């Protein structure tokens, strides 16, 4: 199937995350957190909006073309899991992992044990 406009926007947010996380893992660099957090948050917002459009087609404000409607759910598992739902889950999981990494990467300095 041909992806709709919102699917493309979600991909635009997800694909750079693969590169950012790959480079960060290779270089052991935690400095990508702000950039990755922005992409994950924006992607989660787009995916949530897309999921709402699929569940409630009347919410569509003309963000998609008539040829490839955003309200069509090409995958529907268990009555609620669609591709935007899976994307939202992935973006949310990545944002949560970034938040947990922030908490573990900024340890509180311990008091000095220097005895004189």
In this prediction, residue 17 carries a pLDDT of: 94
Report if pTM > 0.85. no
For the segment 58-74, the average pLDDT, to the nearest whole number, is 71
**pLDDT, tens only, 69-99:** 766 777 766 877 888 899 999 999 999 988 8
Domain residue limits, the chain: 5-104
User: What pLDDT does 54 receive?
Assistant: 84
Are 43 and 91 in contact, with CB atoms under 8 Å apart? yes
DSSP-derived secondary structure for 1-45: ----HHHHHHHHHHHHHHHHHHHHHHHT--TTHHHHHHHHHHHHH
The predicted-structure confidence for 41-57, as pLDDT tens digits, reads as follows 999 999 999 898 888 87
């Amino acid at each position: 199937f041909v992806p709709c406009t919102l699917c493309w926007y979600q991909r635009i947010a997800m694909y750079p995350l693969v590169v950012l996380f790959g480079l960060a893992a290779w270089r052991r660099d935690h400095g990508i957190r702000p950039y990755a957090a922005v992409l994950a948050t924006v992607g989660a917002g787009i995916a949530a909006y897309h999921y709402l459009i699929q569940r409630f087609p009347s919410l569509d404000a003309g963000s998609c073309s008539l040829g490839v409607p955003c309200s069509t759910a090409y995958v529907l598992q268990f009555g609620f899991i669609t591709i935007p739902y899976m994307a939202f889950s992935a973006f949310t999981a990545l944002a949560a992992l970034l938040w947990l990494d922030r908490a573990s990467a900024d340890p509180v300095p311990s008091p000095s044990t220097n005895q004189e």
